[in-house]
């Protein structure tokens, strides 16, 4: 049976994910509290063991998406580094940002843009298959994106240079990440981005109201589940009318993706939802809360 694992770490006000797919292991963003870094990296090493390709995708270099990145790179030697091409600067530089910049500017980085192709990211060959990852944004010629790049270069927030990353399992779920794109920026670019149907959406900007997706995109996507991140509850938009999982309460979330369905597990054994099917799966990765048929 074809199967992949997608995990969303519970790291507070930040983002970190991995995708275990076929012969590849992909980390998306990095936010590792100092007291948890050793255990988190040990888990990543264990899950990535024997994988032919290990890659890191940075949606954007905001602190809550690169915290602990220097340690992660030292421990895992991230040879396959993906980011948007940018010249972001910060008034208060950190070791993690310096590490990000060193890889970003090394000449070895692969720069993300809409429709980009890369062997084993979204192309297969005789050696190994695709990781099922495609990039929907940025369009590097877009004027709003150029303005966001310039603001990041001048030391303003890099939120709006975030890439939109899509992962699909053949015959299974499609999952979308949007970094920390802000609502007003998404409204400006909504007619330029092709948004297709997706089963699971990780809500932009940790689920904040300031990152609420345009209604036009939500209607086209029609997500079966919106996963709302760990921003302070007063800042969240709960995506009324959609089925949601709130990570503030659920804690770690693991999606076991197989053909036609996704089994969902959370760390909090007291958490439950009423919109998933019960297939009586064992608590393999945490508490099994149900199955999404896709």
Q: Each residue of 269-294: pLDDT tens digit?
A: 999 999 999 999 999 999 999 999 99
How does the average pLDDT of the chain come out, rounded? 96
**CA–CA separation, 274 vs 42, rounded Å?**
34
Q: What integer pLDDT is reported at residue 1 of this predicted model?
A: 65
Average the pLDDT over 262-266 and give the result.
98
| Alpha carbon 34 to its chain's center | 21
Non-local (6+) Cβ contacts of 257 within 8 A are 3, 4, 5, 6, 169, 172, 173, 175
Per-residue pLDDT band for 172 (boundaries 50, 70, 90) equals: very high
d(CA 169, CA 132): 6
Residues 6 or more apart whose CB falls under 8 angstroms from that of 219 comprise none
Contact between 122 and 114 (Cβ < 8 Å): no
3-state class (DSSP) for residue 154: coil
> Looking at the predicted structure, is the pLDDT value of residue 267 above 70?
yes
The DSSP letter of residue 126 is S
Using left for φ > 0, alpha for ψ between -120 and 50, and beta otherwise, residue 139 falls in beta
At residue 215, φ and ψ (nearest 5 deg) are -60, -35
The one-character DSSP state at 109 is: P
Burial of 128 (0-12, 13-18, 19+ CB in 10 A): middle
* Paired sense of beta strands 53-57 and 24-28, if any: parallel
Of 34, 44, 28, the C-alpha closest to 12 is 34
Q: What are residue 255's DSSP bridge partners?
A: 6, 264
Domain 3-293 sits in CATH 2.50.20: no
In the predicted model, is pLDDT for residue 229 greater than 80?
yes
pLDDT tens figures, 124-134: 998 899 999 99
How does residue 93 score in pLDDT terms, banded at 50, 70 and 90? confident
CA distance 268 to 288: 10
**pLDDT per residue as tens digits for the range 67-81:** 999 999 999 999 999
| Residue 2: pLDDT band with limits 50, 70, 90 | confident
**Per-residue pLDDT, 28:** 98
Give the Cα separation of 4 and 282 in Å (integer). Answer: 17
Q: What is the mean pLDDT of residues 186-190?
A: 97
Rounded Cα distance, 195 and 237, in Å: 20
CA 27-30-32 angle, to 5 degrees, is: 125
CA 60, 20, 173, 131 torsion: positive or negative? Answer: positive
């Amino acid at each position: 049976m074809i199967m992949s694992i997608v995990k969303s770490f519970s790291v507070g006000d930040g983002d970190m994910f991995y995708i275990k797919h076929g012969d590849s292991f992909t980390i998306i963003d990095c936010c590792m509290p100092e007291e948890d870094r050793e255990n988190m990296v040990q888990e990543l090493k264990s899950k990535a063991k024997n994988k032919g390709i290990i890659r890191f995708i940075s949606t954007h270099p905001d602190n809550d998406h690169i915290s602990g990145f220097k340690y992660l790179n030292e421990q895992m030697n991230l040879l396959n580094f993906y980011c948007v091409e940018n010249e972001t600067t910060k008034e208060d530089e950190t070791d993690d940002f310096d590490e990000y910049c060193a890889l970003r500017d090394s000449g070895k980085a692969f720069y993300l843009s809409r429709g980009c192709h890369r062997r084993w990211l979204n192309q297969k060959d005789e050696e190994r298959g695709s990781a099922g990852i495609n990039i929907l944004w940025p369009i590097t010629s877009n004027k709003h994106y150029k303005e966001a790049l310039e603001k990041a270069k001048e030391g303003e927030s890099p939120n709006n240079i975030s890439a939109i990353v899509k992962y699909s399992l053949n015959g299974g779920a499609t999952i979308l990440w949007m970094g920390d794109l802000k609502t007003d920026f998404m409204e400006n670019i909504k007619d330029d981005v092709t948004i297709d149907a997706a089963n699971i959406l990780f809500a932009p900007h940790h689920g904040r109201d300031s990152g609420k997706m345009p209604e036009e995109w939500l209607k086209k996507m029609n997500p079966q589940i919106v996963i709302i991140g760990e921003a302070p509850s007063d800042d969240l938009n709960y995506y009324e009318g959609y089925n949601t999982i709130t990570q503030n309460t659920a804690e770690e979330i693991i999606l076991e993706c197989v053909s036609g369905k996704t089994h969902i597990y959370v760390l909090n054994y007291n958490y439950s939802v009423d919109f998933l099917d019960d297939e009586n799966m064992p608590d393999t990765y945490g508490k099994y809360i149900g199955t999404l048929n896709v």
